[in-house]
Structure 1
Amino acid sequence: MLQLFKFKGGVKPATNKVQSVTLPIATAPLPSRLAVPLHQSIGGTPRPIVAVGDKVFKGQKIGEADGWISAAVHAPTSGTVIEVGLYPAAHPSGLTAAAVVIEPDGEDCWIDRQPIDYAALEPEAVRELLREAGVVGLGGAVFPTHGKLTASKTVPMEEMVINGAECEPYITCDDLLMRERAEEVVRGAGVFRDLLKPKKVLIGIEDNKPEAVAAMTAAVKALGDAFKEFEVIAVPTRYPAGGAKQLIRVLTGKEVPASKRSTDLGVQCFNVATAYTAWRAVAYGEPVISRLVTVTGNVGEPRNWEVLIGTPMDELLRIGQPKANTDGIIMGGPMMGFLVPDQTAPVVKATNCLIAHSPELFPPKPPEMPCIRCGECARACPHELQPFEMYWFSRAKNFGKTQEYAIFDCIECGCCSYVCPSRIPLVQYFRFAKSEIWARERDKQAADSAKGRFEFKQVREEREKADKAEKLAKAAAAQAAKKAAEALAAASAADATATESAPAPADAAEAAKKATIEAAMERARAQRAAAQPKNVDHLPPAVEKEIADIDARHAQAFGTAETPSPDGEKNS
């Protein structure tokens, strides 16, 4: 017998599962329209590859996977694309999301489907096949399955866990799937086994589902030695035993730290519905276009339905015959689910349950009271956190301290809120803190990116200036070199001419002496002309006499005599 372990914390709320397991799985009727969101998994948003007016077939790809961590999206039925745009999303925010809206033609005409011998393919080709088929985790996380099918290169794969615990109250879709389609679930797990090659495959199912345990055990035995490493194990019923880390802890005793992936410890976990869709993809060529949904709560006929992706939630709820006092729809369970703001929002791959809400079924909670620091929330936390500390710092908007208390390790299971005697909605505070931290991180990244772009621009401009200056310097140097070459050539030519017509050395000296004397004489004449009075050619006799007297006194004072020059000017 396999030794089972325990995880810390947890609670035991009323299961409310009996109501929806009395009837077998039924196929939901075709809705009036199907709004298929393009983003239905963790990762990139698929790109639409159809346009308004296009005719599509059932199973035809309408959204191309964007990147490796992404998954394709397909048409749930045949019909006409009437809209590609924003549509109400299945999200507590009530925001819209990109979707392809299809009007069914009623023919439900499939694409050409081909079964695939995956054993003959390379592992990478099988992963690509699952990506193109839109296979994602249907337990709630909706992580693209192909991204989990690569084992660690350093740690051998010891165990693969198939999660059939389904611990959330009201939800029974996995229970009915295992009861009615156990063999296909086991074969799908075999596909994962062949890719990861673990030593053991452990199928964990809570012990409040004895029919599912029996059906899965019988399926494993019927498939023979090819599945001899498979073992079906009933685990104690305790919420949240269906959490991946909690179930891994119960079955293997391994605790997965927040900073590591489970493959680093040699273990990987998949939901039973995920294994089922993987088998349909390889054995029948069927992409993920529908899923099982539990319709329960304040309805006349609680039941599990196979529902096409994109079916409006209000139309699906009407099939279950909601009672007159129904005033809302909860998507998911009462612990981790949320009231859908817009009831026309479509069923998506993450939709495992719709609960008809009523005041009698879910009475309003009493007013929130102050925290008394009793520690009940810490005792119930399956991740051994301190919710009361995270609450105080979230309320004070001291988000740095919330991170010191590992707020991102919180899986928002709701155990702390469930046991709080002060009726504090602790999970809501934690979601608020996380969203604020993410928003600030995005702002910081945007600021850092803008700063990086600005600095890069500055560096680029400086580099361009330096390049321009270097080019100008090179051009100036080239021009100077050209002029120097021309001057050198002219000087060489002048030297050659001077050499040919140069006079004798004595004649050259005499000529230089005469040129110097002539230049000196010319300067003297210019100086005299500048010093002589102006406009004295036609002076009156009295003025001429006065000038003559002045000249006489000047001559007497300096002992010089004035003599007229040959050209009529006076020289001294």
Structure 2
Amino acid sequence: MAINISANSKLWSFPGGIHPPERKAPANLKNIQRFPLPPAVFIPLRQHVGEPGELCVAQGDYVQKGQPLTIPGVDNGLPIHASTSGTITGILEHPLNHPSGLTGPTICIQPDGKDAWYPRQPIADIDTISQREVLQHLQAMGIAGLGGAGFPTARKVAGARNIDMLIINGVECEPYIVSDDRLMREHADEILAGSLLLQKLTSAKQLVIAIEDNKPEAAAAFMQAISDLQTDTNSANPVVKVVPTRYPSGGEKQLIQVLTGKQVPVRGLPADIGILMQNVATAFAVSRAINHGEPLLERVVTITGEALQQPGTAWALLGTPIEYLLQQSGFKAEEIKAENKQRVIMGGPMMGFTVTNLQIPVIKTTNCILAPSQQELAPAQAEMACIRCGACEIACPASLLPQQLQWLAKAKDYDGLKQHHLGDCIECGICAYVCPSQIPLVQYYRQAKAEIREQAIEHQKSEIARQRFEARQARLEREKEERLAKHEKAAEARKAAQEARKNAAAAGDEQDPVKAALARVKAKKALQESEGGTAKTEQKDAVAAAVARAKAKKAEREASEAPANDKKDAVAAAVARAKAKKAEREASEAPANDKKDAVAAAVARAKAKKAEREQLAKLEAEHKNDIENTQDATNHKGDDNS
């Protein structure tokens, strides 16, 4: 059942929660600043949930502000863009904005000071294009959730179905942080425009803007923006809902419970109960991307702490080293190296982490840089043994058992952690804040979550490998069975053919297809021979006569070279020549259709050839004898002379 929220509707509560000192005033006294361009920007390839894209630039390239630097991969990640114009001086390993302090692939750009824009492509009217095209545009602009998680906005909107309520989260509950507060005060109209665009994309029936009661100026700015808005009389106006100040009321599940009284299911999403939530900074980025064609290149960052001379808020280009922002706010980097070194915290005091390198860059999820003094925020003390006071359990807003989770995390009992719903921990830091034993409980949870993720990744890889192996085995088995079936089918066909031939032979079947085909071939050949037989016979006879003449001439030459007294052989050769000539004349004078004469001519030619061969053989034998006699005579003469 859909819930209709009005400005006067009932508010609910959530378990646990605390009221730490706010300390928001020092950074909230002046408008958002804009510092000069930094000497260099370091843009990490990974700035949000999902795999980083593929590089489409190289070292030495000149890039313009807003130019894509990566292309999303197959997992529909987000691209990153150049936050200013300049030259790429390196693609290197650089410290990441992460509690681990590890390095990662980063693009270093040296600004040229021009801040020259890459061609922008705003959407004039989203009603003229499909929802999918608008979401593709948001993805190309690199829009991600700016409230902390960094989940791609287009994927979050595309995955939402049957949304009844869109909540724009302006509840900035963590101490010190005022980025969203200043943004709402100064840009409420653009945040409202982006919120309405998101409402249209999700087809949400109601739009609610939630703001804590310690931000009256932001609430007033939204009320004025809504009154200036020309809304459709048939649709409900956006509702500004002021909620009590309580940490962590800005958490997604906690704020939904405060506004609607509903609880998000365990391991579920707000979309499962018809609700979608976006941060006010995300709505502002959506408005700039659609109405102005601007990618996500900068964000408002709170720079505060007693170690700074000019705390406040500033528009920080993505990739700006935090050292540069601290220097612009009156912080000296040398102090961090001294004894009792000055801490610098990325994020707020509850959910942030202490940095070890001031060269880490601002990324899409950076909302605060805190440099507290020793008196302002005492460093963490040595961890002591748990006294089982139960304060962590009472304060936990997710109704978990922090003490039990810590024991399971230290024992690496991942199954036990899953059974105790470690995944529902929002890492708000309340348990560590209220612990009298100074136990850093959140650190145990973060480490355990990371190990569970690694374990899940390895399990997924092994499962994929197993499925591929099984699929391959099934394919090989299937191919083997197909081959066997094919061979069996071929054997059966051969056997059937053999049986058919045997049956045909036994029955004297003259209609055997093979025999019939052979008969047709023979009949066709006989017809061709009967039609062209005469011409072929005449041609063969002429060739045979020419061969006979040639052989006769050869025999004549050899006969002329023989001894003169061999008249009998000469006469035989002459007779053979005469017979050959007679046969040739008879063959040429015979009628074309007289087959008997043609046969007789062929027989005569054969006899002539035989007689000629015999004559030639006789002549060769006699000639050989003459040569042998001559050699013998010569040898005898030589003997007499000796």
TM-score (norm 1): 0.79
Q: 3-state SS of the aligned residue for 1:73?
A: coil
- State how 1:468-547 maps to structure 2 within 5 Å: none
Cα distance per residue 1:219-252 (max 9 Å; x no partner): 1111143485211122111111111111111112
Matched position secondary structure for 2:242 = strand
In 2, Cα distance between equivalents of 1:132 and 1:262: 25
The one of 18, 23, 26 equivalent to 1:19 is 26
Determine whether 1:7 maps to 2:14.
yes
Map of 2:146 onto structure 1: 138
1:124–1:444 CA distance, 2 compared to 1 (3 A): closer
Percent identical pairs in the alignment equals 44
1:246–1:464 CA distance, 2 compared to 1 (3 A): same
Query: Which moves more between the two structures, 195-204 or 400-409?
Result: 195-204
- 1:103 aligns to what SS in structure 2? strand
**Bigger fraction of residues in helix:** 2
Superposition pairs for residues 201-280 of structure 1, below 5 Å? 201-226=207-232, 228-280=236-288
Give the equivalent residue in structure 1 for 2:320: 311
Shift of 1:469: 7.3
Equivalent pair of 2:267/2:423 in contact (CA under 8 Å): no
Structure-2 residue corresponding to 1:320? 329
State how 1:79-118 maps to structure 2 within 5 Å. Answer: 79-116=86-123, 117-118=125-126
Q: Which residue is equivalent to 1:35? A: 42
- Structure 1 residue 367 and structure 2 residue 382: aligned? yes
1:414 to 412, 420, 429: 429
Aligned to 2:135: 127
SS where residue 231 of structure 2 aligns?
helix
Name the stretch that deviates more: 290-299 or 460-469: 460-469
1:44–1:67 Cα contact (<8 Å) kept: no
Does the residue aligned with 1:97 lie in a helix, a strand or coil?
strand
Give 2:241's aligned amino acid: I
Q: Deviations over 1:334-377 (max 9, x none)?
A: 11111123321111000111112544433222322222222211
Question: Which residue type is aligned with residue 260 of structure 1?
Answer: G
Alignment of 1:46-85 (within 5 A): 46-67=53-74, 69-85=76-92
In the superposition, relative to structure 1, how do residues 480 and 152 fare at CA in structure 2: closer, same or farther (>3 Å)? closer
SS of residue in 1 equivalent to 2:324: helix
Give the conservation status (yes or no) of the 8 Å contact 1:113–1:285.
yes
Q: Which residue of 1 aligns with 2:175?
A: 169
Q: Following TM superposition, by how much is the alpha carbon of 1:396 offset from its aligned partner in structure 2, in angstroms? A: 2.2
Closer, same or farther: CA 482–87 of 1 in aligned 2, 3 Å: farther
1:444 has 2:450 as partner:
no
CA drift at 1:53 = 2.0
Q: Deviation per CA, 1:164-206: give whole Å up to 9, x if none.
A: 1111111111010011111111111111111223232111111
Alignment check: 8 A CA contact 1:207 1:237 kept: yes
Q: 1:230 to 1:458 in 2, by over 3 A?
A: closer
In structure 1, what residue type is equivalent to 2:379? P
Distance 1:65 1:470, change over 3 A: same
Q: C-alpha separation between the residues in 2 aligned to 1:335 and 1:71?
A: 29
Asked whether the 8 Å contact 1:56–1:80 carries over to 2, the reply is: yes
For residues 199 and 471 of structure 1, the distance between their equivalents in structure 2, rounded to whole angstroms, comes to 62
Indicate the RMSD between aligned Cα atoms, in angstroms.
2.8
Cα distance in 2 for partners of 1:37, 1:264 equals 33
**1:395 is aligned to 2:403:** no
Matched with 2:193 is 187
Separation of aligned partners in 2, 1:454 and 1:285: 47
Letter in 1 for 2:208: L
Change (3 A) 1:151 1:51: closer
Q: Deviations over 1:297-353 (max 9, x none)?
A: 121110101011111121222111115644342111111111123321111000111
Query: 1:302 is matched by which residue type in structure 2?
Result: P
- SS of the aligned residue for 1:76 comes to coil
Aligned in 2, Cα 1:443/1:68: closer, same or farther, shift over 3 Å? closer
AA aligned opposite 1:343: L
Q: Find the residue that maps to 1:135 and give its secondary structure.
A: coil
Q: Deviations over 1:260-288 (max 9, x none)?
A: 22122121111000011111111111111
The one-letter code matched in structure 2 to 1:223 is: L
Mapped partners of 1:235, 1:32: distance in 2: 42
The structure that has the greater radius of gyration is: 2
Are the structure 2 counterparts of residues 455 and 231 from structure 1 closer, same or farther at C-alpha, using a change threshold of 3 Å?
Answer: closer
Distance 1:487 1:172 in 2: 99
Between the aligned partners of 1:270 and 1:197, the Cα distance in structure 2 is 14
Q: Given that residues 199 and 229 in structure 1 are in contact (C-alpha distance below 8 angstroms), is that contact kept between their aligned partners in structure 2?
A: no
Of the structure 1 ranges 395-404 and 411-420, higher mean CA displacement relative to structure 2 is found in 395-404
**1:52 Cα deviation after fit:** 1.7
CA distance in 1, matches of 2:29, 2:130: 43
Q: Deviations over 1:479-510 (max 9, x none)?
A: 9999999999xxxxxxxxxxxxxxxxxxxxxx
Aligned amino acid, residue 445 of structure 1 = Q
How many residue pairs end up in the alignment?
491
Residue aligned with 1:225, SS: coil
Deviation at 1:470, TM superposition (A): 7.6
After superposition, the Cα gap between the structure-2 partners of 1:137 and 1:152, relative to the gap in structure 1 and judged at 3 Å, is closer
> In 2, Cα distance between the equivalents of 1:407 and 1:318?
39
Q: Secondary structure at the match of 1:383?
A: coil
Amino acid at match of 2:247: Y
- Partner in structure 1 of residue 363 of structure 2: 348
Q: Give the number of the structure with larger relative contact order, counting CA–CA contacts within 8 Å between residues 6 or more apart.
A: 1
Greater displacement, 13-22 / 224-233: 224-233
Q: Which residue pairs with 1:289 in the alignment? A: 297
Q: What SS class does the counterpart of residue 291 from structure 1 fall into?
A: strand
TM norm structure 2: 0.71
For 1:85 and 1:121, the matched residues in 2 are separated by 40
Runs of at least 5 residues in structure 2 that lack an aligned partner in the other structure: 1-7, 337-341, 504-642
Contact 1:202 1:251 in 2 (8 A): no
Contact 2:23 2:176 in 1 (8 A): yes
Structure 1 residue 218 displacement after superposition: 1.2
SS in 1 for 2:104: strand
1:383 corresponds in structure 2 to: 398
Aligned partners of 1:38 and 1:45 also within 8 Å: yes
Q: Distance in 1 between matches of 2:500 and 2:260?
A: 89
Instruction: Name which of structure 1's ranges 136-145 and 435-444 shifts more when overlaid on structure 2.
Output: 435-444
